[in-house]
Amino acid sequence: MYSERTRKRMLDKAAALGLAFVFLACQGNSFGHPGPEMTELQFDLNQVTLPALDLEESIDFYTRFGLEIIVNSPETQYARFEIPGSQATLSIHVEARGVRKPSVDLYFETANPDEIVSRLRERGIESVEALEDKPWLWREAWFVDPFGNRLCIYFAGENRKNPPWRVRDQGLTNEASRPCDIDLSR
């Protein structure tokens, strides 16, 4: 068994490696400028799988949250839900007892977060952070599932990808945008 300190260092390194991998995957062949084949690729999020401790409790939570269950497999401790108005799905998988992975933050954007938060309240799901306008120009409320994963109901509109402070192409050289600047030694 690893000490808490060692576990934290391992998780930090794994997170940095994941970040580096995503950065590299998005950069194409030329560190900093997408390769021609990368500029034409488009991705659509298919599915996110969250850890859980109790299958039935999680199914109850996510169906009350408004998702429609499409797979319920008690023998494999797995369930999958459709997200209304989206092609993406959300899955849950029960972790072995005593094993707890870091939690995840999921963001669900809607044009009317006030209505969605009100409907969730009617279903017995209370936010842990009330719906409010944030300084980053999003209107959001936060919820927590039975495992501790955080879910945000929000509206950002154009500000999601194009806030007034968006970083514009500054003509960075390949050297300045290399992902190797990430310190993975910690």
Give the tokens for residue 32: 């900093």
Domain boundaries defined on the chain? 1-43, 44-162
Rounded Cα–Cα distance for residues 91 and 49 (Å): 4
pTM score above 0.85: no
**Is the Cβ–Cβ distance between 182 and 20 less than 8 Å?**
yes
Q: How big is the CA angle at 135 (ends 133 and 139), to the nearest 5 degrees?
A: 25
What pLDDT score was predicted for residue 34? 46
Give, in order, the Cα–Cα distances in Å from 162 to each of 103, 165, 182: 27, 8, 25
What pLDDT score was predicted for residue 160? 84
What pLDDT score was predicted for residue 20? 33
Give, in order, the Cα–Cα distances in Å from 46 to each of 43, 67, 111, 153: 9, 15, 21, 19
Q: Topology of 44-162 in CATH?
A: 2,3-Dihydroxybiphenyl 1,2-Dioxygenase; domain 1 (3.10.180)
**pLDDT 10s per residue in the chain (186 long)?**
446 665 445 444 433 333 333 333 333 333 344 444 444 545 566 788 898 889 999 999 999 999 999 999 998 899 999 998 888 899 999 877 656 667 788 989 999 999 999 999 999 999 999 999 999 899 999 999 988 888 999 999 888 888 888 787 655 444 433 333 434 344
- Backbone φ, ψ for residue 129 (5° rounding): -135, 120
What pLDDT score was predicted for residue 186? 43
